[in-house]
Amino acid sequence: MCPTDDSISLLLPHVDPSFAACLIGALNSLVLDYAAQQKIGGTDIRKYSIAQLPVPDPNTFAPPEAEFIVPRVFELSFTAEDLAPLAHDLGYDGPPFRWDPNRRALLKAELDAYFAYLYGLSRDELRYILDPKEVMGADYPSETFRVLKENEIKTYGEYRTRRLVLDAWDRFAKDGTFDPAHLQDPTHFDVVRRALVETRGQVGALERERDELLALLKRSDAAPLPALFVEGENDVVILTAAWQAYFPTEPLPVTILAAGGTRQMGSLAGRGAALRQLLGDRLVFALADNDREGRALVEVGRTRLGGEWQQQSNGIHWCLLAPTVEFEQAMRRFGIDVAYWPFTIENAFPAALRRQAIAEGTYAVEYATVQPAFLEDPATARKALAAAHQLDLAGDDAALYFRPPVPETKIAYAEWLAAPARCDRATFAAFASILEGFRTVLWSQDESKKVMNSSRTAHYEVFQR
């Protein structure tokens, strides 16, 4: 006897020895290992974690199931004399089984296939558990048994466990070991199935993201210039006017396209080599509002501060709007947490200018609420509502930083800003660093192409000589 702490769990089942053998088989199965990975984050398994594992009830193991499981578990376990009591409990008086790695691999594969069947999984779901990338594609981010796979490829030149388990599944499905009705209507252990359903949902989201990206890239291919994606049509008008205000003698070097909203721009922010392959050699830019939704789209770095372009891992150049001093002062004045600052493109213009647009009937805000970003946190929502009410009573234009614009007025407001009387650098000051950085990226790309073309020409001339 010896004491143990909470990280050493002792299982002392008071059941028939054959049920105990079935329990050993279930606890060592790949399916339960997969389920455990969804529950356990570290290397220790605490009691409360064990309680969440989908361990079969002893009643699950009727004689046909026990007849399949017990002999295999017993042969894998009884490999030394010190386990003779287990052999006696199971009615065996012979010597321990010889340790044969190939035989053991086959027995374990048969048990893994059989437990997958008992858990109600399909063959494709079992394939996913063994190797998600084989089912979902090489760029799929999820992994299950990476170390096992890599070690077996290194040792055997193949992912041996995968082959043996699926071979066993196919053999059992063909020879009658598996009940065909069970395979067609799996209803057992929905904990594992729910985890797989959630995974399929994530895969579906990735596929939709890919399709949305392809649709946006198809639009960019229709234009001869590089594409700059923005959230809405009003952003197109504003960015075009900003370029004209700062560089009136230079033609706009990109085609500005409206993605249709922050969510639609999400496909431009997808991570991974597969998305970069879709991008190819296209030069694509994306400019978004500096709010919670926009910041969630960019990778960690100075990009989240706004005003700077940065190429993300998928190859697309991203930038967020940079909050103005006037906007920051309004937020800090009322103690608004920076995580909830909603620096939208409307807030890039001075509040007094927007008040003028309201007076001229080209802009309007919703006075019954505040920016949606504030409402995501109860404490921030209370602060924002109180600030907007206080500023409204005082007739302070800063209230416009808290109120959302009426959607139907966005285009009219953008066109009002782009009118010749207001199309100057002072009006579009918030876009100065964005436009300068944008030009720098374009210039760098042009210089790289010139160097590449020059190098190719030189190689060609040498070849000709």
- Same domain for 318 and 343? no
Does residue 218 lie in a domain region?
A: yes
Tell me: do 389 and 338 sit in the same domain: yes
How many other C-beta atoms are found inside a 10 Å radius of the C-beta of residue 405?
20
Q: Are residues 175 and 129 in the same domain?
A: yes
Residues 356 and 316 in one domain: no
Same domain for 311 and 365?
A: no
CA–CA gap between residue 255 and residue 245 (Å, rounded): 17
What CA–CA distance (Å, rounded) separates 239 from 228? 10
Q: Within a domain: residue 271? A: yes
Q: Are residues 236 and 367 in the same domain?
A: no
**Residue 202: inside a domain:** no
Residue 42: the pLDDT is 57
d(CA 402, CA 371): 6
The parent domain of residue 228 ranges over: 211-322+428-465
Q: Looking at the structure, tell me whether residues 154 and 244 fall in a common domain.
A: no
Cβ–Cβ under 8 Å, residues 402 and 391? yes
**Confidence (pLDDT) at 201:** 52
How many domains, in total, are found in the chain? 3
Contact 172, 117 (CB under 8 A): yes
Of 122, 100, 112, the C-alpha closest to 145 is: 112
Instruction: Decide if 8 is inside a domain.
Output: no
How much is the pLDDT for 348? Answer: 95
Alpha carbons within 13 angstroms on the beta-carbon side of residue 305 total 5
121 and 179 both lie in a single domain: yes
| Domain contains 297 | yes
H-type helices in 399-431, by residue range?
A: 410-418
- Using a 10 angstrom Cβ sphere, with 0-12 exposed, 13-18 middle and 19 or more buried, the burial of residue 248 is exposed
Could you tell me what percentage of the chain is helix, strand and coil, using 3-state DSSP and rounding each to the nearest 5? 60, 5, 35
Q: Residue 200 domain-assigned? A: no
Task: Determine phi and psi for 265, rounding to 5 degrees.
Answer: -75, -10
Cα atoms in the 13 Å half-sphere on the side-chain side of 47: 6
Residue 7: the pLDDT is 56
Strand partners, 365: 405
Whether residue 10 is contained in a domain is answered as no
The whole-angstrom separation of Cα 238 and Cα 346 is 10
3-state secondary structure (DSSP) of residue 52: coil
Backbone angles phi and psi of 311, in degrees to 5: -80, 125
Specify if 134 maps to a domain. yes
Q: Would you state the pLDDT for residue 55?
A: 78
126 and 235 co-located in one domain? no
Contact status, residue 261 vs residue 291, Cβ threshold 8 Å: no
pLDDT tens over the chain, length 465 residues? 566 655 556 666 666 777 788 888 888 899 888 888 776 655 566 666 676 777 777 777 778 888 898 899 889 988 888 888 888 888 888 888 999 999 999 999 999 999 988 888 888 888 888 988 887 777 666 778 889 999 999 999 999 999 999 999 999 988 888 877 666 544 444 444 555 555 555 545 555 666 666 677 777 777 778 888 899 999 999 999 999 999 999 999 888 988 877 677 777 776 655 555 656 677 889 999 999 888 888 876 666 788 899 888 878 899 999 999 999 999 999 999 999 999 999 999 999 999 999 999 999 999 989 999 999 899 999 999 999 999 999 999 999 999 999 999 999 999 999 999 999 999 999 999 999 998 888 888 765 444 333 333 333 333 233
Q: Are residues 442 and 412 in the same domain?
A: no
Whether residue 131 is found in the same domain as residue 228: no
The answer to whether residues 142 and 230 belong to one domain is no
* Confidence at residue 222, expressed as pLDDT on a 0 to 100 scale: 73
